[in-house]
Structure 1
Amino acid sequence: MKTGIIMFGALAGALAMSTSCTKKTEPTVAASSISKDQKTPFPGGAPITAADLTATPAALPTAPPPYNYDPYNPNISHAEYARFAWRQFIHFNSPAQKNGVDVAGKSPVVRGSIDPNRNFAASGASGFYQSGRTANSNFSSNQLVWETFAHRSELFPAGSAPKGNLATLDPEYAFQNVKVASTDARFNNLDENTQIGQNQIFFPKNGNTPSTNPQDDHIILFQAKVSPVEYGYIKSIYNANNPPTALELPPNGTDQGESVEVKSAWREMTPALIASGRYHTAEALYYYQENGQTQARVATFGLVGLHILRKMENYPTFVYTTFEQVDSLTTPDKKDTGLYVINLYDQLQYDASVPPETRPSAILNSGSNRTLVALPLAGAIDSAHGYDVVPGKFTVPSGFSGPIKVQNPPVATSAVYSVNSEVQLAMANTPEFKNSVWQYYRLVGLQVLPTNEDSSVTPATPNPLTQDYYLANIVVESSQPGIQLFKGGVKDPSPDKKEFTLLAKRGLPSILGVKKLPPNSDQLVMGGCMGCHGNAQYPRDKEGKGPSIFSFLINGDTMGGQGFSADERNESPGELSAKRLEYLTY
């Protein structure tokens, strides 16, 4: 049976979860750091210096002021938002606060809290995680702030309600198919093996050519986490027997904390990669089937992608920021890594607005110019329809497609490139970062508010908000156009055929019913991460519409107590196929 994609959302890969560490007691960026050329007082948008990198503790930047929506004279530039994104990265990737506990099964940190005595430079040591290990505990006391957030299976444990105060909660993971003892747990729990059910992504084991059976190669695994604010909010409204008919993640009318969602991507590591000092590494759980049972295992993984999503006053659709490790497409000596995807579908459809014989396109705004990029034709996922299929014979299940080489679309903006250079220079001039792993991570882009795509590439003034309109991370949203150059909405699965129908729509609004947005701006055809998460609605009506909550974690099943199922490292084609429906019914 042929299975199709009707194109979904890009940074949707973030299986996004809302979390938040934003409290009024958090350190904030000093007002004295405001740049003279800023049109609106926005400390988080000031140029980044060595002082930002070594601040102890690193400040969480305060929320940006309201955006004025003036395409000819915006009050906040894309570069200022990019600096804000970097300051968030610096804060959340700083060491978490230790609590002095060194006992098996017990958390050695104050979860969600930054260490007041260590900084971003300390967490960049290549042996950061390992140096916090002892013989007494299965946990390291050296964790990044976001790594201590609530895992999705803690937010929605299978068969029970979320429990306890996250700051003092011991990690304990309860899935539909396995329960991990707290004495076996790790803070990083890589329970997802697909990009929102659309594809799997691999590094070749030998050279840059896929193995005959892709499952023999090095897979990228994922996890989703939420901060204490969102965890506390969901816990306060949770009732499996009487789920709420509507909800609004903080900040809301009763909770002024901020929701932050974190999605991370991790690659299986070799000894050489670990020794390179170019990755943040940590022990992590992953899952295999042994003797007919799902079992947790532990291995060392390297962080290759990180989404940080933060909902703030005046930014009710979240601000989406995403970072990549720099070696995913080319090695340090400039060789092709061979990164590739296996799609869990073999047909691509577009909606009725795109005739079958027409090649649709995407308009990319770099901030300096606009470029028209042609997308693959509807139909089979093969070279004839515009895909970079790796030549050769491979063991790919029926109904799947690939291997397809991962491409990096020309979506980088000049503002993001400039700010990355600014941060690199600051690191190069700061002795504490001479051997830091953080030298090898870059901001990919960010989305701050929803908008429609630019209508053409002609020299009319582009909308500044369309910079990073097609936001995607090459290791979290890898299929093109599937979840990379995406815009629009989602068509629910056929209740009769139970076939995958994630449509590459180009015209259905994906931002619906969002409070606190200017009139008519909550009915936009948004692209990238925000467009995808704009489809994550609870509860959904028969038309597939509902209030936008921008969280793939919250649905009828999770609010009803069913929780999540842990993905096994090498699942059967049938199990993988079933995942395609999960994300559409959220």
Structure 2
Amino acid sequence: MKTTFRFCVMLVGLASLSGLALAREQAMPSTQASNLSCQPPSTAPAASASQDQFDQYSWQMFIALNWPAQNGQRGDPDCAKQPGDPGYTVWQTYKTVEEIFLPKGADPGPWNTPQTAKSLGIINIAALKNSTQVNAVDQAVGGWLIDQAGNPTYYDISANETSYDYIVNNSFYNADVVSKANNINFPNGVIEVKSSWRILTTSDNASRYLTMLARVATFNDQGQRTGVTEAYLGLVGLHIITKVNGYPQWIWSTFEQIDNVPPKELVHGQWVDQPTAGMTYSYFNPAAPAITLNQSPCDWQTQGGQLVCVPKPGTTFQTPNPLNRVTPIAEVTNAVNTNYRTDPGLQRSVLKYYQLITTQRPLMPDNPSNPLGQPTPALSANVTMESYIQPNSSCMNCHSMATPVKSPYKSDFSYLFKFANAPVGKTTKDEE
């Protein structure tokens, strides 16, 4: 079965950079001052630039995409507003995969169609591996993720207008067309966003989250879909990938809400979780034995030709999956986080409660002998998206293997085309 699960399982052993070396990288003086702009950066740092400069780029992109959107114009910021003002953010008005890849491979039409209040529709649960279509929003590998309140984590993927136009102009929304395409090459300026969300309860402080109301799938205790309900969600993770001039392997930025798991500190030569006393974390349980952390909840079984996640013996779909961070956030990245999170312009915004985990990019983007460009840093893991493969997780390595459904051809680091549907009477699917 050609699924995200199999693609990313192949990553084990590829990464060679240790978490200790990454986390102990010293902060370097920045050549870019912290500033807030409603527009994303027009260029990326040179390939030889420091981690600090790439992390600055990621934060500038994060702020621009989380700027309040212009009413009636999807994907455009309202520069008269400021972060923290009400309304959808820019990236929340991007087209979701549900809007791009319509049933029967239909043309999704013009970009600027009206957006309803429940724009994301049904948010697919992570690792619901019972159809080809939802595989692309599954966790990178391992199964669903249940937070400490016993609720599932939900995921969505969206794309900006440049990406949308490329897909529509080439009829790549049609699975029959895109599965035969042997030259998929997104233009510069493409942005894709993958988000992860958890249900906020009365025990949560919603003022620390980017929030939205959305329809979400409901499940029984075995993880089988039972229906749909409306829920109040808080953003817990955000992958931003950008294709920029000079970087054919794209630039990969990943952010998390700061209450997901506690930070780590170096104690007697070992990295140790340092939870704040009295703090409740969304995915961390201080009483959980170390052997239970970051473990897949799945007893994988084949049902109807599909790999299905069945809860391990003694657990149910509501059993929390305790996590911690395997690779500590680098000192240089933490310094950039502090710089932006304390910026006076963000103090009215929930953005001050988010942190950059890392920026991954190719160190040698134009080396013909190394098409992957040497991912730097070697590891990149968001605890809400790569929960169970953190020790070997690399966004670039995983996405370098992306293909459309039932296709031998690469799809330029994008898994979007796993959502493409075939016209009436066609059954283009991944091979089982």
TM-score with structure 1 length normalisation? 0.53
Which of 280, 285, 296 is matched with 1:343 structurally?
296
Looking at structure 2, the residues matched to 162 and 197 of structure 1 have their Cα atoms a distance apart, in angstroms, of 31
Residue 187 of structure 2 is aligned to residue 263 of structure 1: no
CA–CA distance in 2 between the matches of 1:250 and 1:410? Answer: 31
Percent identity between the two aligned chains: 24
Q: Partner of 2:394 in structure 1?
A: 528
Give, in whole Å, the separation in 2 of the partners of 1:240 and 1:65.
36
Cross-structure match for 1:282: 212
CA drift of 1:468 comes to 2.9
Aligned counterpart, 2:89 = 144
2:20 corresponds to which residue? none
Q: Which whole-Å deviations, capped at 9, do the CAs of 1:95-145 have from their partners, x for residues lacking one?
A: 01013xxxxxxxxxx11111131122x34xxxx3xxxxxxxxxxxxx1010
Which residue type is aligned with residue 53 of structure 2?
Answer: E
Count of residues paired in the alignment: 350
Partner residue of 2:315 out of 381, 395, 414: 395
Q: Is the 8 A contact 1:278 1:437 kept in 2?
A: yes
- Is contact 1:285-1:296 (8 Å) kept? yes
8 Å CA contact 2:362–2:375 kept in 1: the answer is: no
Partner of 2:391: 485
Given candidates 415, 419, 431, the residue that maps to 2:332 is: 415
87-96 or 324-333, which moves further after superposition? Answer: 324-333
Q: Which residue pairs with 1:201 in the alignment?
A: 145
| Counterpart Cα distance in 2 of 1:83 and 1:265 | 23
Q: In 1, distance between residues paired with 2:111 and 2:120?
A: 13
Alpha-carbon distance change, 289 to 199 in structure 1, aligned in 2, over 3 angstroms: closer
Per the alignment, in what secondary structure is the counterpart of residue 191 of structure 1?
strand
Q: Is the 8 A contact 2:118 2:215 kept in 1?
A: yes
Q: Is the 8 A contact 1:485 1:528 kept in 2?
A: no
Distance 1:170 1:162 in 2: 16
Aligned twin of 1:46: 32
Corresponding residue of 1:439: 352
The residue that corresponds to 1:472 in the other structure is 381
Residue 162 of structure 1: aligned partner: 107
The corresponding residue for 2:368 is: none
Report how far residue 294 of structure 1 moved.
6.7
User: How far apart are the structure 1 equivalents of 2:340 and 2:197?
Assistant: 23
1:537 maps to 403
Q: Distance in 1 between matches of 2:147 and 2:247?
A: 36
Determine whether 1:405 maps to 2:322: yes
What is the CA–CA distance in structure 2 between the aligned matches of 1:284 and 1:93, rounded to whole Å?
18
1:306 to 233, 238, 255: 238
Partner Cα separation in structure 1 for residue 120 and residue 80 of structure 2: 21
Q: Secondary structure of 2:241's partner?
A: strand
CA distance in 2, matches of 1:287, 1:403: 18
Question: Of 104, 109, 119, which aligns to 1:186?
Answer: 119
Taking the aligned partners of 2:397 and 2:251, their CA distance within structure 1 comes to 12
Query: Which position in structure 2 is the counterpart of 1:229?
Result: 162
> Residue 218 and residue 313 in structure 1: after superposition, are their counterparts in 2 closer, same or farther (change >3 A)?
same
The TM-score with structure 2 as length reference comes to 0.71
Give distance in 2, aligned partners of 1:303 and 1:403: 18
With over 3 angstroms needed to count, the CA separation of the structure-2 counterparts of 1:203 and 1:471, relative to structure 1, is: same
Which residue is equivalent to 1:62? 42
User: 1:246 Cα deviation (Å)?
Assistant: 2.1
Name the residue aligned to 2:62. 89
Cα separation, 2, equivalents of 1:234 and 1:465: 28
CA contact (8 A) 1:114 1:145 kept: yes
Regions of 4+ moved over 6 Å? none
Deviations 1:218-258 (A, max 9, x none): 1111101111111111111115554442243431xxxxx51
Aligned equivalents of 1:191, 1:417: Cα separation in 2: 32
1:546, distance to aligned residue in structure 2 (A):
3.3
Cα offset, 1:259, TM superposition: 1.2
Q: Which runs of 5+ in 2 are unaligned?
A: 13-28, 128-138, 263-274, 285-292, 301-311, 366-372
Root mean square deviation of aligned Cα:
3.5
SS at match of 2:124: coil
Looking at structure 1, the residues matched to 218 and 423 of structure 2 have their Cα atoms a distance apart, in angstroms, of 24
Deviations 1:514-550 (A, max 9, x none): xxxxxxxxxxxxx611111111124776xxx633511
Q: Match of 2:272?
A: none
Partners of 1:116 and 1:62 in 2: how far apart? Answer: 16
